[in-house]
Amino acid sequence: MPDDRGIPGAVAALLERVSAETQPQALLDTTSLRGRTAIVTGGSSGIGRAVALELARCGCNVAFCFLDSGAKARLDAHETARLLRQTETKVYFRSCDVRDSRDVRVFVGEVLREMGGLHILINNAGVSRDRPLWKMEDHEWESVVRTNLDGAFYFTRAVAPTMRAQEWGKIVNVASVHGTRTVFGISNYSASKAGLIGFTKSSALELGPMNINVNAVAPGYIRTTRLTEGVSPDVLDQAREHSALGRLGDPQDVAGVVLFLCSEAARHMTGAVIPVDGGYLL
């Protein structure tokens, strides 16, 4: 039977129930991250820095590595560490070559000793060396695949024993829309990111029984220094045109999704690949 008070009465009853909620509710509960320790590879700038800062703001202790390619890389790393320390969480960082399995193993051991635990891994380190495949040099292929794919494997392998022993872990791989849809001149990059997507799914299957979630984000064109300085304005204009939202993304757009995947809100998600591309793949 319809309410005798009619539509106005029903609306009033609904408003009465809603008004009982006096405190705004957080869109994403990140309390489970407080006190956890996260490793962010390539964490000194761009998406890596944004992710590290978001995790720290939620109470995570953060360890990050970077490739020491010169003074600029060292300055970026120290600036990231300064920003992280403002959150009053533990910070550990040093240069680590993700292509070197021994260096990776040593770095993970240092994090465990210095931070007292390890719960989250963000495989973000990545490079690009764009060139048509018939002009591509061996080192241009190898540096991209070894950084973007081998590095993720080395770090995942190194953290797996700790996460399996504690039966808890979150791993997020930073893939790319170009792992599923390529463009001219990025065969090395596309191959590495497609491989990373496959690795995400395999890792999720193997580590899932020990309560370890492994997922990936697939950013589109994100406004980082590497993008704005290394990609021509014409390509960026085309990227905007192909985006349903008509814009480029920011590192914080990716960091927000990574944060969700690390939270208990995503506890029943594993092996997923989430585009963060403004609708580029539509």
3-state secondary structure of 31: helix
Residue 203 lies in a domain: yes
Domain that holds residue 52: 28-274
Residue 7 lies in a domain: no
Residue 23 lies in a domain: no
Residue 49 lies in a domain: yes
Give the pLDDT of the chain (282 residues) as one tens digit per residue: 445 555 666 656 655 654 555 555 556 888 899 999 999 999 999 999 999 999 999 999 999 999 999 999 999 999 999 999 999 999 999 999 999 999 999 999 999 999 999 999 999 999 999 999 999 999 999 999 999 999 999 999 999 999 999 999 999 999 999 999 999 999 999 999 999 999 999 999 999 999 999 999 999 999 886 666 667 788 888 889 889 999 999 999 999 999 999 999 999 999 999 999 999 999
For residue 91 the two structure tokens come to 């910070």
Residue 256 lies in a domain: yes
3-state secondary structure of 171: strand
Residue 1: the pLDDT is 47
Residue 16: the pLDDT is 61
Q: Could you tell me if 214 and 200 are in contact, meaning their C-beta atoms sit under 8 angstroms apart?
A: yes
Number of structural domains (the chain) is 1
Cβ neighbours for 112, distance < 8 A, ≥ 6 positions apart: 118, 162
Residue 77 lies in a domain: yes
Q: Which of 92, 154, 189, 280 is catalytic?
A: 189
Residue 14: the pLDDT is 53
Provide the CATH number for the domain around residue 58.
3.40.50.720
Alpha carbons within 13 angstroms on the beta-carbon side of residue 120 total 28
66-70 own/partner pairs: CB under 8 Å, 24+ apart: 66/42, 66/93, 66/95, 66/96, 67/42, 67/95, 67/96, 67/97, 67/98, 67/125, 68/95
Q: What is the largest CA-CA distance in the chain?
A: 79
Residue 5 lies in a domain: no
Active site residue 189: yes
